[in-house]
Structure 1
Amino acid sequence: MLDFPLLSTLGSSTAHLLLALGVGLTLSSWVDVRNNLHRALLLIVTFLLAMRYIWWRGTETLAPAGWTLDMLASWSLFGFELLAMVGTVSSYVIMSRIKLRSDEADAHAGWWGETEPRVAILIATYNEEQDVLERTIVGARALGHRNKEVLILDDSRRDWLRDYCAAQGVRYMRRPDNKGSKAGNINHCLDRLAEDPVPPDFVAVLDADFVPHRGFISRCLALFHDPKVGLVQTPQHFFNADPIQHNLGISHSYPDEQRFFFDHMQPSRDGWGIAFCCGTSSVCRWTALRDIGGLPTESVTEDFMLTLDLQDKGWASVYLSEPLTEGLAPEGLKEYVTQRARWCLGLMQIARSRLGPLSKNNLRLRDRWSVADSVLFWTTSFPFRIAVVVYPLLYWYFGTIVVDAQLAEVLSIFGTFFLWSQMVQRVLMPGMVVPILHDVGQLIGAIPISRAAFTGLFKPKGHPFSVTAKGGDRTRITVQWRMMAPFTVLLALTIVGLLLGIFVDRFAYHDAGDGKWVVLFWTIYNVFVLSMTVLACVELPRRERHIADRPDRAIFVTEGDIRRHWITTLTMDEARLRGRTYPVGTQGKLRLRDAGDIAVEVIAPTVDGIRVRLLPTVEQREALLVRFYAEGAAPGTARAQLGGLIAGLSRRLSFSSGR
């Protein structure tokens, strides 16, 4: 017989979901994402639905009190979830405002008059190879701002780099030790600049693998029209795919992991006056740096602490959301995770320092909240992500119900909250959060990041600075077995537990009621997340590849023949041309805009033309570097594209099955 009360309850739950979906689909037609009132209204509704969900979880779904496995499992998971929700709500409050400063930069361009401010461009380096440093140095020299000095701060004391800098006409510095790591390296340079006859007015900082666009300095300086501004931070963009994008084959259809922070969170933080320095791609006022005594060295994330030091002294930090630099994302998964664990550790060190949220200092309440919000993110998001894949196993192997809920209530309360959140994110930050892929991004580094979070909180001192390695040989498939191992074990346990629960009666726990349907869906979802995480641990080969921002034409000149060709692929070493074919070995010149006539040699025919090897002069090579890295729009994709994601993941799975 049909259970009419159950059908009625499910119908009511479905109505709640349809209402959230229907209203959510109308948001894009009336919400102005730059209007803070609109943003606040959307996020207030999200907050209320989140509070409704948490109240329901705490009052209706937990096991009865008592020293039982059910109680310990149920209540501990709720504790993880509650803490993670506090962090989520804090981020909702931050996202309720936004400030975009491009119009301000336009209005105050050239406020300094006829005499350009003097700018020192500091490029700190430790172990980067010449091909990485070359493009950064060439890009810095090509900046449109004329009154500048480029300085290379070498913490490895390499003679070849000293000689290269002399040939490039840039200033080279080294120091006798490595005290203070990167911050100490920059402080040594600041002290030497203070001894110059004319010190700089502003200091720009670039990582060794970040290339500035031509307008980087002038656009940032425009915001220093306000004498209270001590620092201007700009976003970081990457000309290569991060390891998750690359290893899953979705680099052209899924944004890099940093896009959410730089494109959405930082402008929102700026709306509250709490945008913070991220090291590279920033410009600081000289007098502000000297006022605080240089970069702080108490944390391995000296950039965030620099912001707090400035704010403690009354200086403002602002954010210019324009693509003005582009750099090299960590190419290996180990480097990617190590970098994020260092960020986490450094933030914990700051929280325990003289500039922590509970310390006695001159920070505003909002500055203290800024640190607390970051602590919540690192200490709750990643442990909760681990818990989410572990706790369902307690049901399949021990019969423990960690979420005892009716299916209709799950749909009505959690389902409505989740669906509405997705609709709001779709409007405020389109294409940023894709279920499963977002979870993979968090899970893959969750174990070392969680360890770093609590190590930093309880033992903040005595940790070395871990340099993120860039460049190197990436031409082979590499399996990160140690990183993959825990996810492989969890995936195996999840699949075995699921099969036992379905096919073996004694593991089915039929008396679990609707709770088993919650765990069933949860488990199947985890199978997808864990499978993708394991797949992401298989690092695919990389090769340099630059596609023209738009279709481009070039003239190919050989003896007795001049023809136009379409450029379909252009790198520092090769070009692929569509058009007439020529025999392998044919010598000629390829006429490219900005670079002139570059000597080339045909090395292979293609289905629609030829592939040629470029033989540029030093000047032409530098012109190509500027064209690739210092001009044009932001590299990469800014939002997820469903069709591209499906195609990319399908190709990646086909590649794995065909190996």
Structure 2
Amino acid sequence: MDFYFKEFEHRKPPEPVPHSMPRELLYQYLATCNLTLGIWYLWWRWSFALNYDAMWFSFPLVFAESCAFIGSVLFTFNLWKTKDEPRKSPPHTINECVAADSPEAGEKRPISIDVFFPTYDEEPELVKLSIEDAQKIRYPHDIEMKIFILDDGRRPTMQALATEMGVEYITRDNNVGFKAGNLRNALEQTYGDFIVICDADTRPFPTILEHTMGYFRDPDVAWVQTPQWFFDLPEGERLPQWLGRKLGRWASGLGRGVERLYGPIKIGEDPFVNDPQMFYDVIQRRRNWVNASFCCGAGSIHRREAVMEAALRSYSEQISKEQSEIEKQIRKITKEKHVEKSVSDNLRQEIIFDTEFTPYKFHVSEDIYTSIVLHSDTERNWRSVMHPQVESKMLSPQDLQTWTVQRFKYSGGSIDIFMNDNPLFRKGMGLKQKLMYGASFWSNLSAIWNIIFLTCPIIYFFTSIAPVSAYDVTFYLHFIPYVLTAELAMMIGTWGVAGYKGKTNFLSFFPVNMRALWTVLRGQKISFPATPKERQDGTFGHLVIPQKIIFGLSLISMAFAWFCYFTGMFGSYSLGGLIFNSFWTINNMMAMWGMIAAAYWTPPPSAKKQEQGSEELEYGI
């Protein structure tokens, strides 16, 4: 089978951004200035800058600004400093990975590792590529490594592939718990000391074990997460070639002229902003210093003992919680202060009988859920490590529909945990860990205030009613220093990783984010659909209707307001208000346009065809 990503196999992953202490200190200085100015700005907004004649408009905006500032505080703490875990040499035997009082201490046997590839409906040829790469994993010492295909699709073709490749095959007669259930079923039938979790499209590098197993010399390290890297991200098409392909040969000259003035321009470069480097190299990596980097599934290595202990603790907590709730109902009915011990014991036995032991929580975000359980374990003090170097490659969503499904799962899973089992109220976690997890959950509530930020300039343009007391010099003296220091701090704090697209994508993400929030609030479960590995046919304009509406209203309202200002036909606009809201609106429109363009994006011709087309344009053929 000829996969679309064949032409990208030569690509190499980016190196981790080198740590710079001077840059980190500069970031901390700028971030501190920004937070100080933010407090000053919000105090002024709440105390002196509300428009009391339009509180229906003024209050939502200052509320949104306050919520966004809380997010800025949490994000600043997340980015505060980098402290990579020192790399250690790979252990020879299992006794080098366990505590001195462990039953396995002193054992000289080789380490055993199970590599899991959960699959449901992926093409066998795709899984075969992953297995081939897994079989190339090397280790400097003797090791017992087994590779398992965990087939929830129960397909004879997949079983035949396992036989052909000489790897193990595990299936089950149901799909309870989906991926989490698939992993649980595999854990019950395997015995490796450590588990490497991959997705069906995860292609591990030969170095994944020799670069990560050294961390497990610390017996408290429960898992190591490696960065996920999508090697198939569209590189985009240079503007002259794109114009020539769309409009004809004459347009390529126009494109070359534009590039001479502006520099190289690429159309369709990573249209869905899938590049995860910001998340792994900046956000996750900088959680190492407070032991709060969470598991993200694929590309992670787990200590089996930790997984099982987490499951036992979660199992016990679930039983105790259910027992407490039922006994509360019994006391309410009987009017007794206590439930008899014999009744309580019988009740607990019934709950144990009805409750399944689940090493991986049956949850759409089972990876972060397991991380929370381990990080809050007061008896073991389990640690996590974010390894900064890419050790595998995988496939990215190639259309907006697939991207939407994936992001809905991520956002909904996080919100569900935040609403129903919030780690901020769990015993065992330190304050710094809670703040790190809080940053992740808070960002998934952002649709609430992002909608306000998107609609406020539209309301101002159509009504000429200002959400602040006045767009005067005092407003700008408070606002501009706050915004400038925020941008400077962000630029220094994320140095080496492009961030603008991520910020605009975050703003345009609001419909998916809001849908996920609404789903959880209604008590509905977030579904577990497998993410397709091939591009879905067609375009997906229906998925960006909210973004189109915001874009259209922003453009029309801005034109309307400037027309009224120059003609005096309607309203009482101030020049300062128009300029400020115009910049605000243009930023919003650029964010919406990125998502709208992604809905209609189609892969450009193959690299070979592009090269041929470029030569034709160059020689005027």
Whether these two folds match at TM > 0.5 is yes
Task: State the partner residue of 1:441.
Answer: 505
Task: State the partner residue of 2:166.
Answer: 169
Distance 1:252 1:368 in 2: 33
Task: State the partner residue of 1:483.
Answer: 543
CA distance change for structure 1 residues 422 and 133 in 2, over 3 Å: closer, same or farther?
A: same
Matches within 5 A, 1:341-380: 341-354=408-421, 356-359=423-426, 361-380=427-446
Distance 1:518 1:606 in 2: 42
Matched position secondary structure for 1:468:
coil
By how many angstroms is 1:51 displaced? 1.8
Task: State the partner residue of 1:86.
Answer: 70
Is the Cα–Cα contact under 8 Å of residues 405 and 514 in structure 1 kept in the other structure? no
By how many angstroms is 1:224 displaced? 0.3
| Structure 2, unaligned runs of 5 or more | 1-18, 97-107, 243-265, 312-357
Relative to its length, the structure with more helix (as a share) is 2
Query: C-alpha deviations, 1:375-411, integer Å up to 9, x for none?
Result: 211102x333332221211122222212344353454
Distance 1:144 1:538 in 2: 43
Aligned with 2:290 (options 259, 272, 281): 272
Is the Cα–Cα contact under 8 Å of residues 464 and 573 in structure 2 kept in the other structure? no
CA distance change for structure 1 residues 255 and 492 in 2, over 3 Å: closer, same or farther?
A: closer
Corresponding position: 1:119 with 2:108:
no
CA distance change for structure 1 residues 468 and 328 in 2, over 3 Å: closer, same or farther?
A: same
Give the partner amino acid of 1:286: R
Task: State the partner residue of 1:14.
Answer: none
Matched position secondary structure for 2:531:
coil
Aligned with 1:238 (options 211, 230, 236): 230
CA distance change for structure 1 residues 517 and 222 in 2, over 3 Å: closer, same or farther?
A: same
Matches within 5 A, 1:505-654: 505=567, 508-510=570-572, 512=574, 514-541=576-603
By how many angstroms is 1:487 displaced? 2.1
Is the Cα–Cα contact under 8 Å of residues 235 and 268 in structure 2 kept in the other structure? no
Distance 1:92 1:245 in 2: 35
Give the partner amino acid of 1:55: W
By how many angstroms is 1:95 displaced? 1.1
By how many angstroms is 1:606 displaced? 11
By how many angstroms is 1:36 displaced? 6.2
Corresponding position: 1:467 with 2:530:
yes
Matched position secondary structure for 1:309:
helix
Relative to its length, the structure with more strand (as a share) is 1
Matched position secondary structure for 2:558:
helix
Task: State the partner residue of 1:305.
Answer: 369
Corresponding position: 1:185 with 2:182:
yes
Across the aligned residues of Structure 1 and Structure 2, the Cα RMSD in angstroms comes to 3.2
Query: C-alpha deviations, 1:358-387, integer Å up to 9, x for none?
Result: 25x43333333333222211102x333332
Distance 1:352 1:255 in 2: 28
Give the partner amino acid of 1:377: S
Query: C-alpha deviations, 1:62-102, integer Å up to 9, x for none?
Result: 211xxx6x21111112112211210111110121121223x
Matched position secondary structure for 1:539:
coil
Distance 2:132 2:417 in 1: 35
Task: State the partner residue of 2:477.
Answer: 412
Task: State the partner residue of 1:400.
Answer: 465
Corresponding position: 1:76 with 2:32:
no
Q: Which has the higher contact order (CA 8 A, sep 6+)?
A: 2
| The 10-residue stretch of structure 1 (439-448 or 111-120) with the greater mean CA deviation from structure 2 | 111-120
Give the partner amino acid of 2:484: L
Query: C-alpha deviations, 1:290-327, integer Å up to 9, x for none?
Result: 22235432431000011111123331111111111111
Matched position secondary structure for 2:267:
coil
Distance 1:530 1:253 in 2: 12
Distance 2:528 2:415 in 1: 14
Corresponding position: 1:205 with 2:214:
no
Query: C-alpha deviations, 1:612-648, integer Å up to 9, x for none?
Result: xxxxxxxxxxxxxxxxxxxxxxxxxxxxxxxxxxxxx
Query: C-alpha deviations, 1:93-129, integer Å up to 9, x for none?
Result: 121121223xx22x33335478541110001111212
Distance 2:604 2:164 in 1: 31
Task: State the partner residue of 1:580.
Answer: none
Distance 1:367 1:286 in 2: 23
Query: C-alpha deviations, 1:149-182, integer Å up to 9, x for none?
Result: 1101111111111101110111111111111111
Is the Cα–Cα contact under 8 Å of residues 491 and 530 in structure 1 kept in the other structure? yes
TM-score (structure 1 length as normaliser)? 0.70
Matched position secondary structure for 1:152:
strand
Query: C-alpha deviations, 1:539-577, integer Å up to 9, x for none?
Result: 2125676xxxxxxxxxxxxxxxxxxxxxxx7xxxx999x
Corresponding position: 1:319 with 2:386:
yes
Query: C-alpha deviations, 1:2-28, integer Å up to 9, x for none?
Result: xxxxxxxxxxxxxxxxxxxxxxxxxxx
CA distance change for structure 1 residues 502 and 343 in 2, over 3 Å: closer, same or farther?
A: same
CA distance change for structure 1 residues 429 and 439 in 2, over 3 Å: closer, same or farther?
A: closer
Aligned with 2:400 (options 333, 349, 367): 333
Matched position secondary structure for 1:147:
strand
Distance 2:161 2:543 in 1: 38
Task: State the partner residue of 2:360.
Answer: 296
Is the Cα–Cα contact under 8 Å of residues 235 and 270 in structure 2 kept in the other structure? no
Distance 1:279 1:503 in 2: 53
Is the Cα–Cα contact under 8 Å of residues 459 and 465 in structure 2 kept in the other structure? yes
Is the Cα–Cα contact under 8 Å of residues 300 and 342 in structure 1 kept in the other structure? yes
Matched position secondary structure for 1:84:
helix
Is the Cα–Cα contact under 8 Å of residues 143 and 212 in structure 1 kept in the other structure? yes
TM-score (structure 2 length as normaliser)? 0.74
Aligned with 2:279 (options 261, 269, 273): 261
Aligned with 2:90 (options 93, 109, 118): 109
CA distance change for structure 1 residues 142 and 391 in 2, over 3 Å: closer, same or farther?
A: same
Matched position secondary structure for 2:444:
helix
Is the Cα–Cα contact under 8 Å of residues 395 and 402 in structure 1 kept in the other structure? yes
CA distance change for structure 1 residues 514 and 42 in 2, over 3 Å: closer, same or farther?
A: closer
CA distance change for structure 1 residues 403 and 528 in 2, over 3 Å: closer, same or farther?
A: farther
Task: State the partner residue of 2:105.
Answer: none
Give the partner amino acid of 1:189: A
Aligned with 2:455 (options 372, 375, 390): 390
Aligned with 1:218 (options 195, 210, 215): 210
Distance 2:589 2:549 in 1: 12
